[in-house]
Amino acid sequence: MLYSKNSRETRSISDRTTLLTDYALRTKSENSGENDSSQYSLENSFRIKLDKNTNFYLSNSFLTNNGTNINTGASSTFRDGTLLNENNSYNKNDSRNNSGQSRIYFSKKLNEKGRRVSFSMSGSAGESVNDNLIKSETLFDQEPGKNDIRNQRSYSKTLNNRYDVSADYAEPISDSAKMSISMGYNTSYNRNSRDVNDFNSATGDYSKFNVDLSNMMRQQNNAFVPRVGYELNKKNINLWASANLNVTQMDVNARYNGQDYKLNKNFALPEFNLNAWSNKDGKNISVYVGSNYDIPSAMQLTPYEDRSNPLISYKGNPDLKNTWRFYGNMYYSKYNQLKNTNLYFNFSFNYQDNDVTNNRHFNKETGGQEITYINVSGNKSIYFGSGYTKTYKWKDNKLTIGPRVTFNHRFTNGFVDGDRYTSTAYSVTPGINLTYEIKDKMTIKPSYSLSYNQTDYKNYVLDRSHTTSNVFSLQSINYFGKNQDFTIENNFTYTTNSNIAPGFKKDFYFWNASLGYTFLKKQMTAKVMVYDVLNQNQSVKRVITDTYIEDREDLILKRYVMFTLSYKFNKFGSKKG
């Protein structure tokens, strides 16, 4: 059984610019929060070997979490310098979350080598309850008649249940290959409800039921999943492949704004995966490709309008298609033990057809958004990374040099105010790591990386945007004392960002330090650590997406001191003889 309790303070400042066809929206916001939470978790499992060919496994887990979260926020939106809206809000949320799951697995090897049958069954259940006090004031300077003042209490409850059953049979077809077939069935039930009551000045409590903001949704999914698999195990090569058909029935019943909605969908979606890998003479290579379909969520499919946020509304689209994904990864590495070198390459890609994306419509007079959902095809991304390390050794010294580079490419289709646009994003990040060690005396690890990001647009008000960041870090460990019982550790990071808006820090420092002492034959260690010595651990960055550019500053954690005491068990018993 584990228990944890946490208290955390958050703070953020952001400056976001949304570039539209005829004008630009600029939103400045500040948010702060306090969160207190406690968590209990319990896990148990056991395995029984009924005989040499039969295994039985059972596992259970339970988790409960209680918390209180208080958030305050303020924002203002401008259109080319003209104030459109101002929002001030206070939210206090008391939450309770409980979840549990169990799994049973049975397998039996039959007489033939590699012939096997197995059966598994699992179930999970969860409940989440939130009691939220909401006080907000949204003022629309150009259209005062649309001002939105709220003083309300929202009580929401979410129930999630899922049960899975599957049976599998594997048959060898040679001394190194086997085929398998399986049949799976799963059913899930989800229920979400939200009851909102406005403050009643006549009674002094929250008793005026708000029909427009209250809602309920029930979703039942049933799926049959037949699957066929192939596995090959040779001395220097391994291969695993599978294909399955996901036959799903979705039933949704919802009530929003006092109106009932029903949705019934049936799907038959194929999926496949192929994984091959080889290891020989220090060379490793692996290839993975796969394809699957994603079903849009019930909220994206149901054509209700959710106006729980006074500045953003959402409306589903029942005509959405399923998203098809094709993805893959290839990894290669070569290690030379005699020369102390290692080289690696990593490449991955992802392509999406009928991807579900937001179709945003902006109100020119209020600055508010109306978001619907639409399918787009052709979204894709590519990643490439490579690195090389070389180690030099002499006497008690060791030096390791490790240059590296990564490249990312992302192509995105999107819609703003009904107009289609495309964005092409690139990022290149070269860097280098160095490690110098003097045995039992010190270790120094400096590193540096430069990241350049650029996004090009078509059919958009902006042609190009870019940002650059530099990160330098230095880690050190020093050993001293008669038997190197004392250690001093330092971890220093310096980050700079370009093109940050006025009012945001372009650079920041981060420094952790600790002092440790090892005793009792080096089995017990006492350590004192100071987190964020300079007390300015703030994350400052510029984020470029396909629809906006945002400068953001977040408080991560305040400076604190932590003491730890650890004991290392070398052995639990001894053998005499």
| Digit-coded pLDDT (tens) for 343-375 | 999 999 999 999 999 999 999 999 999 999 999
Mean pLDDT (whole number) for 111-117: 81
DSSP, collapsed to helix, strand or coil, labels residue 298 as helix
Whole-number pLDDT of residue 507: 83
Residue 170 neighbours by CB distance under 10 Å:
19
- Hey, what amino acid is at 17? T
Query: Taking Cα atoms as reference points, which of 507, 526, 511, 495 lies closest to residue 559?
Result: 511
Q: How far is CA 354 from CA 172, 264, 291, in A?
A: 39, 20, 14
DSSP 535: S
Grade residue 543 by pLDDT with cuts at 50, 70 and 90.
confident
17, 24 contact by CB (below 8 A): yes
DSSP 59: E
494, 475 contact by CB (below 8 A): no
Q: How far is CA 462 from CA 24, 82, 175, in A?
A: 10, 20, 61
Kindly tell me if the per-residue pLDDT of 572 is higher than 60: no
Whole-number pLDDT of residue 577: 38
Token pair listed for 434: 């160095």
pTM of the model: 0.84
Whole-number pLDDT of residue 485: 85
**167-171, 357-361, 452-456, 518-522: segment of lowest average pLDDT:** 518-522
Alpha-carbon 471 to chain mean position: 23
For residues 41 and 316, what is the distance between their CA atoms, to the nearest angstrom?
37
Residue corresponding to tokens 């006492």: 526
| Biggest CA-to-CA distance, the chain | 91
Per DSSP (E only), the strands in 144-234 are 148-172, 177-200, 205-209, 215-233
For residues 163 and 189, what is the distance between their CA atoms, to the nearest angstrom?
9
Half-sphere exposure of 204 (CA within 13 A, CB side): 0
Grade residue 102 by pLDDT with cuts at 50, 70 and 90.
very high
Token pair listed for 36: 């207190």
312-315 and 369-376 beta bridge pairing = parallel
541, 16 contact by CB (below 8 A): no
Kindly tell me if the per-residue pLDDT of 402 is higher than 50: yes
**17-31, 65-79, 85-99, 531-545: segment of lowest average pLDDT:** 531-545
Mean pLDDT (whole number) for 381-385: 98
Mean pLDDT over all residues of the chain? 91
Whole-number pLDDT of residue 282: 86
Backbone angles phi, psi at 132, to 5 degrees: -120, 125
For residues 449 and 479, what is the distance between their CA atoms, to the nearest angstrom?
28
For residues 416 and 371, what is the distance between their CA atoms, to the nearest angstrom?
10
Give 22-49 pLDDT, tens digit per residue: 888 999 999 999 999 999 999 999 899 8
For residues 245 and 269, what is the distance between their CA atoms, to the nearest angstrom?
6
